[in-house]
Amino acid sequence: MNKVLCKFGLESSKLVVSRYLSVSASNKTKYTCKLLVVGGGSGGCTVAAKFSRRLKKGSVIVLEPSSDHYYQPLFTLVGAGVTSVAATRRDAASVLPSNAVWIQDSAKSIKPSQNVVITSRGDEISYEYAVIAAGLKNDYDKIPGLPRALKDSTSGVSTIYAPEYAEKTWSDIRSFEGGEAVFTFPDTPIKCPGAPQKIAYMADAYFNKKNVRSKSTITYNTCLPTIFGVKKYADELMKVVERKKIKVNYRSVLKSIDVDRKEAVFTKSGDQNEQFTLSYKLLHVTPPMSTPAFLHSPEVSDACGFLTVDKFTLRHDRHTNIYGIGDCTNTANSKTAAAIAKQCYVLERNLWADMSGGHGAQRYDGYGACPIVTSYGTCILAEFLYDGVPHETMPYNQAKESKIAYYMKRHLFPFIYWNMMLKGWYHGPEIVRKIINPFGN
């Protein structure tokens, strides 16, 4: 049996007893807490850190199944051979706040009218307030042939969107001797929507280093009608694409992979009957993504399974004691760690006001950032708000490729993440921006 350190309520809603419990299928446990945080990734860990300082010890429960915590923004550089998966990982126990109770399990269902979450083991967690930070999962099975291809070390198919496959991307790029290199962007919301093109740029840079670029064709297939959603950066990225001689197929969606023939079948967005096939030596797939199954409920989510929150306050649109943060919400911002940093500031103040008998009215402006590496040593640092409005921190035009942006991506941002953000102390670069670039670009 799996032993977990837990606390459970014996009187009203207080967590008053702490001990080791043996949990099995025949021994379901009931927990109560002031705040339940569903998910221990970037958003969940940050929120838990903040409220573990504000509330009594044991008042916060974090429901998170994984013992690993990854800094996922570096997976692009893992795929390009700059760093390793091991360097992006920490034990979850080392980053979750010690004053919180960690239940190593996942959510099976949520009953918002009863203020209850049921876990996969069948345990019941009652909460006064909840923050849903459940993230997104990769849906490999939605592309026939993809699961088999990823498991086959000789297939030439990989993805940087999972720690178990990111180093396979580097292996494929390193061993590439020429031919067709194909990269994809799916027709679902995804984490870090700049990453599918970043790895294409890094592949181009490595192929040039290895002197195989002249024997190679790089094709980027995206479901989108443009290379990037913010025009200022899209204009510069098109210059990168043209310089690198990367062919872009817009409104193109990967539908299946024939592993034996090494062929990828695509359809055009909105027209399943319009298909084309690309042969490949190397295929990097950004998989379709979705929220966890427990969110696919009309009580809390939209038709696609995304938690429905007010895009400014991050409070649920019907259940006022539930908030959402990060990739699992229906807010129209880019799904990045930078967005979470700003969201956690708004969420903390609004949720704490609610807990204190008021009604928080802090507003999230849609801030997000995407450092788009274009080579080994250059990067475009895109920063923007809702509706694609640029909102830059540095006192130069961040749409231009720069070395400083690359080293911020490679070294500064990971340091901030591990040492400040996950501990609840970082809310984005707003203070820095006001000092060094008060009028923006």
Q: Residue 209, Cβ neighbours under 10 Å: how many? A: 11
Q: Which of 192, 223, 328, 379 is catalytic?
A: 192
192 is catalytic: yes
Structure tokens at 386: 């809702």
3-state SS record for 192-240: CCCHHHHHHHHHHHHHHHCCCHHHEEEEEEECCCCCCCCHHHHHHHHHH
Contact 238, 247 (CB under 8 A): no
Cα–Cα nearest to 184, from 271, 264, 245: 264
Contact 9, 31 (CB under 8 A): yes
Cα–Cα nearest to 322, from 52, 35, 17: 35
Q: Which of 6, 33, 370, 379 is catalytic?
A: 370
Q: Residue 11, Cβ neighbours under 10 Å: how many? A: 9
Cα–Cα nearest to 335, from 367, 309, 303, 363: 367
Residues 41, 207: Cα–Cα separation, whole Å: 34
6 is catalytic: no
Catalytic residue numbers, as ranges: 192, 370
